[in-house]
Amino acid sequence: MRIDILTVFPEMLEGFFNCSMMARAQKAGLAEICLHDIRDYTTDKHHKTDDYPFGGCAGLVMKIEPIDRLITDLKSQRHYDEVIYTSPDGETFNQQIANGLSLLENVIILCGHYKGIDYRIREHLITREISIGDYVLTGGELAAAVMTDSIVRLIPGVLSDEQSALSDSFQDNLLAPPVYTRPADYKGWKVPDVLLSGNQALIDDWEFKQSLERTKRLRPDLLKE
């Protein structure tokens, strides 16, 4: 899978994608994450990518020309399944969206900044708008990192234990059950006996009941879905 991230601050993301799971996925050839500086596609001598909005409202708006040039350049090289804009008014990102995106081949993620982007980009170039929550960030780089991490870890072979992703919270709209490790007794705080029983059927039943109880208590909205 290839993910192209369009940003005016690629340095914000370089460290993140060169560490841990993201680095291993790229080294293994399972994912290709490419950062593109939008400033490289502006003809402005000062490499400006923003301007004042028509209508006199406050703030600055990302210009249409460099973004269009960059997206056009990428599309001339390969087909893209989605061109995503990180927007606070987009659909809320969740595990189901991550699952679907992880099955795609090529994806562009455009990181918003300042007051937003020229609306014509959203009308003519963007295929999907996604938000990571009901709050506003300085820019879309953090949102792009969150989405990319969530998507890439679902690609077969990225996790050493592929079954691990299937038992994550929000798969099947349930929170994950409690997990424990050694020692089985620490300061009198004991691991539930069923997890030490070796009876997989009992363990599976316990884990499902725990997931259901935790979801009812902490996120009852998920059960309505």
Q: What is the pLDDT of residues 128-138, one digit of tens each?
A: 999 999 998 99
Residue 77 sits in which domain range? Answer: 2-152
- 79 and 177 assigned to the same domain: no
Across 145-150, average pLDDT: 98
11-65 per-position pLDDT tens digit? 999 999 999 999 999 999 999 999 999 999 999 888 899 999 998 888 899 999 9
> What DSSP character marks residue 85?
E
The predicted structure's pLDDT at residue 58: 84
Q: What does the mean pLDDT of the chain come to?
A: 93
Cα 106 from Cα 38, distance rounded (Å): 19
CB 144 within 8 A of CB 83: no
- The reply to whether 24 falls in a domain is yes
Return the CATH number at 180.
1.10.1270.20
The predicted structure's pLDDT at residue 114: 83
- 107 and 191 assigned to the same domain: no
- The reply to whether 161 falls in a domain is no
- 111 and 178 assigned to the same domain: no
- 29 and 61 assigned to the same domain: yes
- 63 and 141 assigned to the same domain: yes
Cα 44 from Cα 4, distance rounded (Å): 23
CB 168 within 8 A of CB 215: no
If one counts the domains in the chain, the total is 2
